[in-house]
Structure formats: structure tokens, C-alpha cells
Structure 1
Amino acid sequence: MSDHFISVIVAVKNEEEHIEKCLLSLIRQNYPKGSYRIVVVDGRSADQTTHVVNEYRSRYGDFIHLYHNPKEWQAAGRNLAIEKEEQSDLIAYIDGHCIAEENWLRNLSDVLLHSDVDVAGVGSIIESPSDESGLGRAIDRIFSTKLGAAGTSYIPRKELTVVDTVPFVLYRKEALFKVGLYDEEMKYGEDYSLNFKLRRAGYRLLVNPNAKVYYYKRKSVTEFYNQMYNYGLTKAILGQKYPTSLKCIHYLPSLSLIVLLSFSFLGVIIKEAFYTLGFIIAAYFCLLYLTSIYFSVKERDWNYIISIPAAYLVEHIGYSVGFIIGFRKQGWIE
């Protein structure tokens, strides 16, 4: 048994489709059972999520805790659990539509507990589960490229690396309290915000490529667009709250969209502007299709010829529109 205790927080809302797989993956961790606990925080689910969780609670007792989150969104739910889980000195989190590899906790804790105290957390890499949807696989592939994931935590790593932000992290609880926990007004982007506050306070974050989480992506174009729109919106709101949190790459998609629209309007007056616009669009689509051909040949999945360019378009447009609109908002809760 470890001298440390981990509370693994799973903040959920309407996750009946995946919550059982998530719980089973956490129950089956190759980690001493007396050294961690699963903590589900439910944000007023309208489906069978809590029913499934309660079934497992009846089998495993105090190994699984369930709290109810009246504010519904993840930042508030995670803070609630962190404050209530007094026994733990380490906090991990994972989403309800994820499956943790059996050595996930061990790989995270081995690195964190052998790191200097200025390492606030160690995070994971994301892969697609074997039963991922077709669109989900395409999203996973674009997130593995700089064109689809520059400036994010999705770029795959091959070795232990210091990063700006990282998903599915094992944190030192003390560090979380020092920076004021999650920003509860953030309905999205709470991870990026928290990790920025940690870095600003002088902490470091690591990603361990041996800590793997299988993450179910969005299944429909509409869901993926909304996700990317909210990502863009969040980045703009965070940029107002923490001006130094954003880098040039975060502005690039929206600036590109503005440039394209500007050339479209200029084309009405200046014919050469249309030629320039056509060249930019042609170059962009060539890049998308070259990427789709690469993955199609590599994995022998010719559906990528359509799904990967479509995923890129939805991602870039959704993020860009959200980012532009986000600068007109003062925050998520107004």
C-alpha cells in the first residue's frame, strides 16, 4: 500500500453510454486498492448515469463515492470533490467517456512521486478506443497533426516532456489549493485555465506517454462543431481574464478566417483579390487532402479521404467563429 492516497474524480452529466466502461477501467487499475478511490460527481444527469454508478457502489462500497453537483459543469464538480475528499493528498481526473489503461494510475504516480515538488502534475496521452466511430477516428487523426492540434495538448509525445497543458492529470492536491482550484465560472476550458494558473505560480507539468487514456470523440458533425466552437469561445474568454495565457497560434485560425473573408469582399472591387483567395483556398484543401491520403494509405482506410478533410473544416471553422465571438463576452456566466 502506498503512503499516498489518490481520489480519481469523474465529473459527469448524461454519460450512461460510457460510464460503465469508465468505472470498470478504474476498478481494474494495477494499483493498490487501499491507496485510491473512485469519486463520481454527477451534474444532474437526466439519463441512467447515476443508476449505473449506484449499482457499482452497491458492489464496491466505500471504494466508489458519489456526489451531486448542482452547478452541473465539470469545474464546479471537480472542486466539490476535491474539497470533500479530505483523505487524499493526490487528485486525478478522467472524463466519463474515457477508458483508462490498466497501468494508468501507476504510470502517473510513479513519475509524480519521483519528481521535484515543483512538478504539480503528470498527465496522459490520448488514443482512440477500438470501437470508436468513423468520425471519431478522423478527429483523432487530425488531432495528432500540427494542422489540427497546434497549441493544444493533443499532439502525441514519445518521451516524458514538460508541457504547458495536458489532459487527464494526477495532481498534487496542495498545488491545486495554492492556485485556488478550478475557475468555476468556466463551463469549458477549465483544464487549460487551471494548468495556466499552476505554471504562473511556478509549477511545472509533465506528460507521460506511458499513461494512456482511450477517449471517445464526438459522433456527429454538429456535436464536433459545437465542441470546437466552445473551445474557441473559451480561449477568447481566457485571453481576456489571463492575457498571457494565449500564444500566437491560438489567434491564427480566426485571423485566417478574417483574411479569407476580407479577400472575398475585396474581390468585388479588385479582381486580383479573387485570384489570391482562390490560391489560398486551393493550397489549404491540397494540404487537407494530402493529410487524408497519408492516413488512408497508412491505415488502409479510404473513408479518411472524406472524413479527415471534413473534420479539419469543422474544427477550423467552429474554433474560429467561437474565438471571434468570445471576445464580445465577459465570461461564461454573465
Structure 2
Amino acid sequence: MKLYFSIVIPVYNRPQEIDELLNSLTFQTYKDDYEIVIVEDNSENKCEEVIQKYKDKLTISYFVNIENIGAGKSRNYGMQQAKGNYFIILDSDVLLPTHYLETVKLALTKNYTDAFGGADAAHKSFTALQKAINYSMTSVLTTGGIRGKKNSLGKFQPRSFNMGLSKIAFEKTNGYSEMKYGEDIDLTFRLWNAGFETQFIEEAFVYHKRRTNIEEFYKQTNNFGGARPKLNRRYPETSKPTFWFPTLFIFGFDFSILLLFFGWWIFVIPFVLYFTAIFIDSLLQNKNIKVAFLSIITTYIQFAGYGLGFLKSYFKK
């Protein structure tokens, strides 16, 4: 089957990100035709002027929703309007390496699957905090590498910031559900239940900017944690005891700090050793002491956000 890619990108009030993403697409080594479908989700700060800059360089279709329908439904709308037979779904806050599309085509030619996922990485231009957040979100020591590591724990679940989906699979599953968070995991489970195969394409990574401050990062991980019990209720066979780890970690760490005031220092030792391992591993990967120190903070924030969001959602009817 000849692949014709439609790159689907939902956007909400982020014209600068669209500018940077489209600019990275102009440097692709990919020689075949493809299209870009941008869905503006009722933004106040629209990216129409940015798109005009690239009309002569890229094939772009631009749609504007008059109501804020969310990223999932915006992706569905984009896929409904797309002309391709294979959709590549990206978040607006990513940059693509020059080999991205060529890598995806080669992988699907060798081993075709109706869906795929790729990894995320930190670009050299990112801030120290963005690099630390990227480390916390992708490290085997923090997430088990489930967001895109070859040696990840368990079966890889594609994420919507860097995900591919065939038109056939989209029509069979109806794409993303109404879930605001965790909608990509929900789609992956429905793909598997419908008999579709997925794969992880290691070299099809993107540079993912993520959040630019601690408060936004906490809110994001809190939403991720809140989505997991909802997924467990929908798909009870996917529930695992390990999903409780961030919650137990945070309560255990805070309690160990409290015990220090009473002279019980032994309970804090495992946490000191763990954060030391985080520092060393991040330092080896990023070659930057500031990023390594920040990785300790972002790891704690990630566990706190996810763990407390999970706990609240678990007991919420």
C-alpha cells in the first residue's frame, strides 16, 4: 500500500509553536507528498498569519472550530477532513528532526501496523527546566520508560503528542473519545481490542517542549494521574498495583521528612539514595549539573501531581 501521510495538529492559542513546528517540517528529507491539517480550537490568538508564511512551502489545510471542543475531538475533526490514508498526530509544542517522516515511512514499509508511537526528546535549545521535565517524563527511573524507551516496562502505549493511525483504524474505532486527559491511552486500548497492532518506532522521536514552569507541569501531571482511575474503570483488565506507586512515594517521602524532626533519620535514607540516582542519571544523560539538580525537583513534582491526582480521582464517584 502506498502511504500518503496527513499530519494532524490541534492548536489552541499557540501560534508561536505552530510557527516553529511548521519551520521544522520545511527541513524534512522526506521526498514524497504529504499534507498538514491544522485545527484551530476556537483560539483567541489564532495562527492564520503564521500559516500564510508556509503556504508556498507546505501543503496545509486550516480549519477553525467556533466552539472549544478539546484536543481529542479536534484531532478527530482533522482526520475526517484529511485526504491521506495514514494520519500522523502531533501536538503543537513539538519540533521534528529532519529524518522524522522518512523514518516513519521506512518503519511502516518494513513492518506495517495500523498505529505507531514514537519517543520524545529534549532539543538543545530547550531551557534547563524543560530538559529536566523531559528527563522526569521519560526516564526508566521515574516512569519505567513507558513514554518511549526501548527497554520500557510493559507493552508500549502510543501517546498523542507523537502518534500514527491508519484511516482504516480511525474509521473502525471512531478515533479519540470524549476524555480530556488519557484519551490517547483509551484509544490504544480500543485499537488493541479491535485487533489492530501497534508498534514503537524508536528513531521517530520528536523534540517535545512540554511545560515551561513548575506550576503548569504540576497541573499536567495531576490531570494525567486523574485520568488513570477512569481508564481502570473502563478497562479493569489493565489496572495494575504499580499505578499506586507515585501516591505511596509522596506520602512515604513526606512522612519520612516528618520523622526527621523526631530523630528518626533512617526512613529518609531510601529516598536520599533514589534522588541521588536521579541526579547521577540525569547528569550522565544531559551533561549539565543544573539540569541534574532540577531533575530532582521535577521528579518530585511529577510524583506529587500524578499521585494526588490519582488519589482524588480514585475516590471520586
> TM-score if structure 1 supplies the norm length?
0.83
Deviations 1:14-60 (A, max 9, x none): 222321110122233222353x1000011122224333124433x35
CA distance in 2, matches of 1:26, 1:220: 27
Number of matched residues?
312
Aligned to 1:166: 158
Identical aligned pairs, as a percentage?
A: 21
- Stretches of structure 1 that go unaligned for 5 or more consecutive residues are none
8 Å contact kept, 2:232–2:239: yes
8 Å contact kept, 2:40–2:46: no
Residues 279 and 76 from structure 1, CA distance in 2 versus in 1: closer, same or farther, beyond 3 angstroms? farther
Deviations 1:169-192 (A, max 9, x none): 222210122122111x21122211
Aligned to 1:94: 90
Q: Secondary structure at the match of 1:293?
A: helix
After superposition, where does 1:1-334 map in structure 2 within 5 Å?
3-34=2-33, 36-57=34-55, 59-60=56-57, 63-69=59-65, 70-85=67-82, 87-116=83-112, 119-150=113-144, 152-154=146-148, 156-157=149-150, 163-167=155-159, 168-183=162-177, 185-257=178-250, 275=264, 278-296=265-283, 299-329=286-316
Task: State the Cα distance separating 1:245 from its structure 2 match.
Answer: 3.1
- Stretches of structure 2 that go unaligned for 5 or more consecutive residues are none
Bigger shift: residues 254-263 or 87-96: 254-263
Deviations 1:210-255 (A, max 9, x none): 2121111211110110111011011122112222233332222124
Residues 294 and 153 from structure 1, CA distance in 2 versus in 1: closer, same or farther, beyond 3 angstroms? closer
Residues 158 and 53 from structure 1, CA distance in 2 versus in 1: closer, same or farther, beyond 3 angstroms? farther
Residues 212 and 299 from structure 1, CA distance in 2 versus in 1: closer, same or farther, beyond 3 angstroms? closer
Q: Secondary structure at the match of 2:275?
A: helix
Task: State the Cα distance separating 1:305 from its structure 2 match.
Answer: 4.7
Task: State the Cα distance separating 1:76 from its structure 2 match.
Answer: 0.5
Residues 113 and 229 from structure 1, CA distance in 2 versus in 1: closer, same or farther, beyond 3 angstroms? same
Task: State the Cα distance separating 1:165 from its structure 2 match.
Answer: 0.6
8 Å contact kept, 1:289–1:305: no
Residues 43 and 280 from structure 1, CA distance in 2 versus in 1: closer, same or farther, beyond 3 angstroms? farther
CA distance in 1, matches of 2:254, 2:283: 32
Deviations 1:246-269 (A, max 9, x none): 33322221244456678899x8xx
Bigger shift: residues 16-25 or 143-152: 143-152
8 Å contact kept, 1:42–1:50: no
Residues 298 and 208 from structure 1, CA distance in 2 versus in 1: closer, same or farther, beyond 3 angstroms? closer
Deviations 1:102-148 (A, max 9, x none): 221221122223325xx221221211111111111112222342232
- Give the counterpart letter for 2:75 in structure 1: R
8 Å contact kept, 1:19–1:52: yes
Q: Secondary structure at the match of 2:63?
A: strand
CA distance in 2, matches of 1:298, 1:80: 39
Q: Secondary structure at the match of 2:189?
A: helix
